[in-house]
Amino acid sequence: MVWRQRYGSKFGAKKQDYNGVMYHSKKEAGYAKELDIRFKAGDIKDVKRQVKISLDVNGYHITNYFIDFVIEHNDGRKEYIEVKGFETPEWKMKWKIFEALYSGDKNNILTVVK
């Protein structure tokens, strides 16, 4: 824990403040700014950040997944957006479970921004 306090993320991401919110990386903060512009222009209906999603399979709670952004499009579809700089094995597993549970609904759009 001391190493992270002194040197930051082991993946080299630097926390970034945008509009009073601290994001995990500059890339994520930049994407938040882009979504903010789209929201103000009326291109999208709503934006939420760091949304907790419970990943449950056959009635068993597997894990929680915190997705970076969930946007609601004007036509009612929801887009789940993950901004990634580095893909860990843990993230890959959670994403596969998330895809299995959410990709079957045609009103859901799953997006990974690299």
Domain residue ranges in the chain: 15-113
* Mean pLDDT over each residue of the chain, to the nearest integer: 89
User: Around Cβ 94, how many Cβ atoms within 10 Å?
Assistant: 20
Contacts of 53 (CB under 8 A, 6+ apart): 64, 65, 66, 67, 80, 98
Q: Using CA atoms in the order 36, 39, 45, 51, what is the torsion angle rounded to 10 degrees?
A: 0
Contacts of 55 (CB under 8 A, 6+ apart): 61, 62, 63, 64, 65, 94, 97, 98, 101
Q: Which residue has the higher pLDDT, 86 or 41?
A: 41
Model confidence, pTM: 0.84
Tell me yes or no: is domain 15-113 CATH 3.40.50.920. Answer: no
Q: Which residue has the higher pLDDT, 53 or 13?
A: 53
Sign for the CA dihedral angle at 96, 101, 104, 105 comes to: negative
Res. 111: pLDDT tops 70: yes
Question: Which residue carries 């999208």 as its tokens?
Answer: 44
